[in-house]
Amino acid sequence: MSKSLQAIRGMNDILPEQTPLWRYFEGTVARLLDNYGYKQIRMPIVEFTELFKRSIGEVTDIVEKEMYTFEDRNGDSLTLRPEGTAACVRAVLEHGITGGGQVQKLWYIGPMFRHERPQKGRYRQFHQIGLEVFNLDGPDIDAELIIMTWRLWGELGIRDAVKLELNSLGTSESRSRYREALVEYLSAHHDKLDEDSQRRLKTNPLRVLDTKNADTQAVLVDAPKMADYLDDESRAHFEGLKARLDAVGIPYVLNPKLVRGLDYYSKTVFEWVTDKLGAQGTVCAGGRYDGLVEQMGGKPTPGVGFAMGIERLVLMLETLEQIPEEISRQVDVYLCAFGEEAELAGLALAERVRDELPNLRLQVNAGAGSFKSQFKKADKSGALYALILGDDEMAQQVVGFKPLRGQGEQQSIAWDALAAHLATCVVQG
């Protein structure tokens, strides 16, 4: 194939054999969010570039080097969204739905775009499920977000493979006091820092804590700790969160170096990490951003949220072989018809059955074919049963009912009784 007809590097097709697992994952999360009282919001994929610069921060990795930015035909600078929080805040402000202290518990799902080096678990178009809560400022809601994800890991069967890392960044006042202390310390060790960290020391010093460089990490061992700079309010908030996690029995690790890549966080930050995916170990990350809405032109509005990476979580389900059996089968019953008359009768019969059993996954053979070839297709479809309509069945107004997996003889079922019969052997619940 010529190069121009390939997908863009780091942007993947999700093929039919993969989509059942995606839908299972997405469906599980959506049901959970419904049950906890969250409502879905859908934002555009493209926004004005300014939105991300103002919210995420000019000197973050995302804004500095990862955004897909282009000029549209009007000359406006637009950007494919690299994350969901900025657009969500823009949307609630634009529609006034957080005004007067109204609580909003929102979630969204969809593709995000970042120009990163593609590798396992890291892509240029990737998918997130994200969640934002507005106008609740207590640690109880921070706890709810974490409790909900904990339940999710349990339902997905991956709880033992993830670990919760927690930190508090304090209010912006305590953070700036900490920043000063950190800059003073790091400046004294300037020559031992890697180049990137030297640059960050000037632009965004807290991000130095996030370094992967071993020499810089060694310098950080004795660096001032955020925990020592927390103001009373942030400290009480953090204690409140930990008490709630303890009450539910959710284990966590305090990680004073956890700062997150986006500028807008305050107080709680957290990440769910795994060692099952190699270097791309964060599957869900978030925190509180009490100053963001105001920074974006709204009234002071507390906010907290997280986003999880669907690719990484799907990869984890595959790696840990936590794939429910029922999703690998997509056909319950396969109808084979031989001859033109049987084909017509089969179509009508299938529709009658579908009327009565709307959840039945019934596939009707298309493309005619011999007895042998239709059976082969029935078997390959993964169906549990084949329905057979040939000359004999047509004459008697019955359908042959043949189990395809395991034992059981072929039986004849009257057309009128077919739906009731299928209900007993296929449709559960």
Residues placed in the known binding site for L-histidine: 83-85, 114, 128, 132, 260, 264-265
- Residue 273 or 378 with smaller CB distance to ligand ATP: 273
- Residue 79 or 128 with smaller CB distance to ligand ATP: 128
Of the candidates 237, 194, 251, the one whose C-alpha atom is nearest the C-alpha of residue 219 is 194
On the 0-12 / 13-18 / 19+ scale of CB atoms within 10 A, 303 is buried
- Residue 209 or 283 with smaller CB distance to ligand ATP: 283
Of the candidates 429, 374, 375, 363, the one whose C-alpha atom is nearest the C-alpha of residue 403 is 375
Instruction: Please state the closest distance from residue 298 (CB atom) to ligand ATP, in A.
Output: 22
Instruction: Please state the closest distance from residue 112 (CB atom) to ligand ATP, in A.
Output: 7
Please state, in angstroms and rounded to a whole number, the distance separating the CA atoms of residues 80 and 52: 10
- Residue 66 or 231 with smaller CB distance to ligand ATP: 66
Q: Give the annotated binding-site residues.
A: 83-85, 114, 128, 132, 260, 264-265
- Residue 310 or 336 with smaller CB distance to ligand ATP: 310
Closest residue to ligand ATP, judged by C-beta, is: 309
The DSSP code sequence of 28-45 is: HHHHHHHHTT-EE----S
Instruction: Please state the closest distance from residue 109 (CB atom) to ligand ATP, in A.
Output: 12
The DSSP code sequence of 256-320 is: TT---SSTT-EEEEEEEEESSSTT--EEEEEEE-TTHHHHTTS----EEEEEEEHHHHHHHHHHT
Please state, in angstroms and rounded to a whole number, the distance separating the CA atoms of residues 412 and 351: 19
Beta bridge pairs of residue 168:
268
Strand order in 68-71's β-sheet?
46-48, 77-80, 68-71
- Residue 122 or 361 with smaller CB distance to ligand ATP: 122
Name the residues that contact ligand ATP, by CB under 6 A: 83, 114, 116, 121-123, 126, 128, 261, 280, 282-285, 307-309, 311-312
The residue type of 15 is: L
Instruction: Please state the closest distance from residue 195 (CB atom) to ligand ATP, in A.
Output: 19
> CA 305: distance to chain centroid?
13
Instruction: Please state the closest distance from residue 238 (CB atom) to ligand ATP, in A.
Output: 20
Instruction: Please state the closest distance from residue 387 (CB atom) to ligand ATP, in A.
Output: 43
Which residues, in sequence order, are CB contacts of 294 under 8 Å at separation 6+?
300, 301
On the 0-12 / 13-18 / 19+ scale of CB atoms within 10 A, 243 is exposed
